Amino acid sequence: MIVVGTGFAGLNAAKELKDAPVEVLLVDQHNYHTFQPLLYQVATAGLDVGDVAHQVRGIFRRQRNLRFRQGTVTGVDWQQHSLELADGARLPFDHLILAPGAVYNDFGIPGVKRYGHMLKSVSEANTLRSHILRRFERASTDPSSVDDGALTFVLVGAGPTGVEMAGALVELIDRAVPLDFPELDPAATRVVLLEMTGAVLGPFAPRSQRYAERVLRRRGVEVRLNAKVAEVREREVVLDSGETLATQTLIWVAGVRGHPLAEALGLELTKGFRVRTEADLSVPGHPEAFVAGDLSGAVDADGRPYPQVAQVAIQQGRHAARMVRRSVEGGTRTAFRYRDRGMMAIVGRNAGIAELSRRLGGLRLRGFVGWLGWLFLHLLYLPGFKNRVSTLFSWVYNYLTYERHARLILESAPSPAELADRRGELASHDEAAATPKLHGARGPGSDADDDPTER
């Protein structure tokens, strides 16, 4: 059987199959698991790439029935029961768990893919970090670039990632500008968080939302609610109102959609490009195939789609794996039921929010305790002993010294347009595209097989 994807869903599906009487082939474009919740800390120079990426073969070293195959999935041949890879390989399967994840949704807004920095991969996080730090170097050598938006950082989307990134960005700036760039005017830097709805942290309780907004504003983030982006240009963002903001850095974290592989599957999609599934997460008409994680369009008892968060992905991955076991070992299939534990977000230093689900007592924590809880849980879920110790040390160091040690501008970082191009998302006409479609999508990313070091 084949598991596609090494995110939370795929990783946990594969682990759940540890002692199952099946041979598991795990396929991903990368040879590592990306711990997405901490990518924003890589982008803000608090963590190294190695802290949030853990290579897959190491994770499954002791799992005898699992093999890994690095490759980019381009489609599924439902007739032949085989998986199609970009390198031409056709991998036969009896059972299949698809968990390629999600990508950021540009909602068809012109310029987002070309100029917007996204935060779904270590490459993007690396690129964003180098880009941000380069703005300061630029402003330092060419003060006129400040008027041109060099020191204005605009984030679009005030979900957890947008809030966390905005909070981390002001902390980086508060420290970096006065100490590293005494030649720059701290007042010239701006961090603007645009949110199209009327509140930050959408799914959280109103008190938590107000708390997060208050903390962000106090720390210097310009929070602008009910602000919609109409277009992104090379050095400015145009709002629906016609207002423009001069900026050289647009960070697009405004909601996700199912992975582009969705459109290549020939399956029925739901809102947000997610695959419609049966209650047991199997694909309608294909009881041997399952979709888990962000790509799954599964709905709860009330018909609402599940949030695209790590906990859902983990539980769906495990459920799909259990269904495969029952299919092989015998046993009845059951409907997936999400055990909601709650939500967490971090606003910055000493400021976190944790809302336990009603099932777990409905406790709501804000401030220092919520922050500690966030750190603890993320450390717990981070795979790999080395990564955990290294991340913990970085956190303690960053906390005590206020430093962000990894302030490195790596010249090999590709631009957002290059990254989008590698994903096959940047067709020449993307700026004119009116529909929220990804162009030329190939599979779970498409860069793995464009081996740049290949001869």
- What is the set of active-site residues? 164
Q: Which residue number, 55 or 82, has a Cβ lying nearer to a copy of itself?
A: 55
- Specify the DSSP element, H or E, that contains 69: strand 66-70
Mention every residue, 6+ apart, whose C-beta is less than 8 A from residue 358: none
Minimum distance from residue 281 beta carbon to a copy of itself (Å): 29
The identity of residue 152, as a single letter, is T
Asked if residue 218 binds a copy of itself (CB under 8 A), the reply is no
Alpha helices in 96-185 (DSSP H): 112-115, 122-141, 160-180
Measuring CA to CA, which residue among 195, 184, 108, 112 is closest to residue 146?
A: 184
Binder to a copy of itself among 356, 403, 427, 431 (CB under 8 A)?
403
Mention every residue, 6+ apart, whose C-beta is less than 8 A from residue 246: 147, 148, 149, 152, 235, 236
Binder to a copy of itself among 342, 384, 424, 444 (CB under 8 A)?
384
CB 110, CB 19: distance < 8 Å: no
As a whole number of Å, the CA-based R_g of the chain is 22
Asked if residue 452 binds a copy of itself (CB under 8 A), the reply is yes
CB 323, CB 278: distance < 8 Å: no
Asked if residue 415 binds a copy of itself (CB under 8 A), the reply is yes
CA distances from 382 to 320, 341, 378 (A): 22, 18, 6
Binder to a copy of itself among 390, 395, 437, 439 (CB under 8 A)?
390
Interface positions, 96-115, toward a copy of itself (CB under 8 A): 115
Site string for a copy of itself, 181-200 (x = CB under 8 A): x-x-----------------
Asked if residue 23 binds a copy of itself (CB under 8 A), the reply is no
Binder to a copy of itself among 107, 338, 381, 397 (CB under 8 A)?
397
CB 137, CB 121: distance < 8 Å: no
Q: Which residue number, 4 or 201, has a Cβ lying nearer to a copy of itself?
A: 4
Distance CA 127, CA 43 (A): 8
Q: Which residue number, 18 or 214, has a Cβ lying nearer to a copy of itself?
A: 18
Minimum distance from residue 273 beta carbon to a copy of itself (Å): 23
Contact residues for a copy of itself, defined by CB under 8 A? 29-32, 48-51, 53, 55, 57-58, 61, 67, 69-71, 87, 89, 115, 122-123, 126-127, 130-131, 133-134, 137, 140-141, 179-181, 183, 234-235, 248, 384, 386-387, 389-390, 393-394, 397, 403, 405-416, 418-419, 422, 447-448, 450-455
